[in-house]
A and B are shown apart, each in its own frame.
Chain A
Amino acid sequence: MSSQSLYVAGHRGRKVSSACATGFMVLSFVVMLVPLVLIVGYVIKRGAGVISWSFLTEDLPIIDRLPGGGIAPAIVGTLLIVGAATLMAVPLGLLGGIYLNEYGGKRRTASVVRFLADVMTGVPSVVMGLFIFSIWTLRYQYSAFGGALALACLMLPIVIRTSEEVLRLVAHDQREASYALGGRKATTIGRIVLPAAAPGIISGALLAIARAAGETAPLLFTILYVTKTNTSLFHGPNVALPLLIFKNAQSPFTAAADRAWGAALTLIVIVFLFTLLARIVAAGFDRRRRA
């Protein structure tokens, strides 16, 4: 009985191709990092020098091309508008996701809602702004709320679809265990399914918030522009960081360009802080479940 040798011809060739594939993957990773590092690095390089306490706390200058002034109204406006949009879009989107995955199933209404959410994801943000401009702003004047409505329209389909996907991932045997103990559907969703899906739902909401925080187009027609802080949600025009960046970056003057870079860095930091906060909350959910 002859036994086959373990020294297989061509084994070295396999090792070489394996090393090549690994090398290619590392290279792809590095290439992927390049734009990220370049963008963040360049924004920090141009923006860091601009940021100061007065830059963050003072009103906008009335004339862009002159140095001085701050971006406080735009920070307040961004927080106000994105906050209001989140309060509208996240609960509604979550309810939509719950409906689609838990109640709708393969029903016709569910398929229609799912299809419309997909279509809505693809609608350009400038169209959303135009839509809110025509149904809200023309009637009730420029206000932070109009901008929030436009951003909420952008966020809604993202929240709906990510919540639906995350809810679908909750293990079926967890639901069965709850039903088998006499749990009703609403109880099971509230006590078992949602807590299990919470980290994913938070991630999805965050994705939507980050996207909305950086949008300029929907705000162009809905909040106009101001130079003084306006904390009112419903009254008077407002300003937001992306809008400020858009306006200042168009200017040929250095003071305006610097202001735009500073505002860009501020916006990145705000989004980063929110991401961090959401991760901490999500990790808290996870720890409580494992404790």
Chain B
Amino acid sequence: MTIIPTGSRSMSEVTTTPGSTEPVLGAESELPEEAREIVFEIRNLAVRYGGALAVRDVTLDIAANEITAVIGPSGCGKSTFIRCLNRMNDLVAGATVEGLVRFHGEDLYDQRVDPATVRRRIGMVFQRPNPFPKSIYDNVAYGPRINKMKHNLDDTVERALTHAALWDEVKDKLKKSGLALSGGQQQRLCIARALAVQPDVLLMDEPCSALDPIATARIEDLMEDLKREYTIVIVTHNMQQAARVSDRTAFLTTEVGESGHRSGRLVEFDRTATIFTHPSDPRTEGYITGRFG
């Protein structure tokens, strides 16, 4: 397996046009290409559910302290893809993963890798806020407790809640149920809960799709802050959101195979500004301009 140089965007056959030569639009990513620290190297990733192909041909690099957005129409395998990055697909009966995912150079799917450890280091926030029916404190403390990180638990909880921009709103009612919070607060609680185990990466699977615009804006601001310490991958069906928050964007689309079976594949991966202004693939352009999906 050859290690493809960092920053290379050799994904599917479509990326022949040199999108990276765009001079003006790379403003979000301040680091030069060579200096980016690559967290995930993903090569020819494909996922099948019980033999049926769900997504294929995903080849991309995810860099540290960047927000990488994954966009595409329904059923293109966005969620399936992001769930490969912390081995959540292991929990789905019949799911098989092909190809390579390296996390800091280590094969995530190696026999010696413990999925529980992977998931502690790579946190995840889900589409619907899913706090436990426990107190706010116990929600955040759950991860540290089960991972034997009980040292200074109060500080850990406070730090996580502060990071998630929720501390000021809940500091006087930590004993109250997490379910008593509003939807947006619940989602920030889930972010705090994920941050409490001190992960390197935060995977967000459509984190705002169940929230109103104000709560969405708060989460987006929060992501901007979190980017300094964490690497973030966000799946979204909201193109404006991808354009607003992300440094790089991967566009997946659905294809109908000969048998009529739908599956997803990566079309294009580039700087967000490039994807949204000069996409190199007509399918990306079609999706961005609202011609389909």
Identify which of B133, B135, B176, B197 contacts A182 (C-beta below 8 A): B197
> Does B183 lie at the interface of the complex (its beta carbon under 8 Å from any beta carbon of A)?
no
Q: Is the CB of B132 within 8 A of A173?
A: no
Q: Are A179 and B175 within 8 A (Cβ)?
A: no
Selected interface stretch from B116-124, B211-219, B224-232, B252-260: B116-124
User: C-beta contact mask, A154-191 vs B, less than 8 Å → 1, else 0?
Assistant: 00000000000000000101111111111110010001
Docked Cα-Cα span, A254 to B169, in Å, equals 72
Q: Report Cα–Cα, A177/B192, bound state, in Å.
A: 12
- A interface footprint on B184-207 (CB within 8 Å = 1, 0 otherwise): 000000100110010000000000
Number of chain B interface residues as a range = 20 to 34
Query: Is A180 a contact of B177 with CB atoms below 8 Å?
Result: no
* B116–A176 touching, CB < 8 Å: no
Give the docked Cα–Cα distance between A102 and B142 (Å). 21
Tally of A interface residues using CB under 8 Å: 23
Tell me which of B117, B121, B130, B180 contacts A174 (CB under 8 A).
B130
- Whether A291 lies near B197 (C-beta < 8 A) is no
Decide if A182 touches B147 in the complex (CB within 8 Å): yes
Q: Which one of A105, A171, A178, A289 lies within 8 Å of B142 (CB-CB)?
A: A178
Residue from B86, B93, B120, B179 within 8 A of A290 (CB atoms): B179
Contacts of A195 in B (CB 8 A): 133
Q: Is A192 an interface residue (CB 8 A)?
A: yes
Could you tell me the distance in whole angstroms from the C-beta of B191 to the nearest C-beta in chain A? Answer: 12
Instruction: List CB contacts (< 8 Å) of A256-291 with chain B.
Output: 289-291
Q: 8 Å CB contacts to A: which residues of B105-127?
A: 116-117, 119-121, 123-124, 126
Name the distance in Å between B132's Cβ and chain A's nearest Cβ. 6
Question: Which chain B residues have a beta carbon within 8 Å of chain A's beta carbons?
Answer: 86, 88, 91, 93, 116-117, 119-121, 123-124, 126, 128, 130-135, 142-143, 146-147, 175-177, 179-180, 190, 193-194, 197
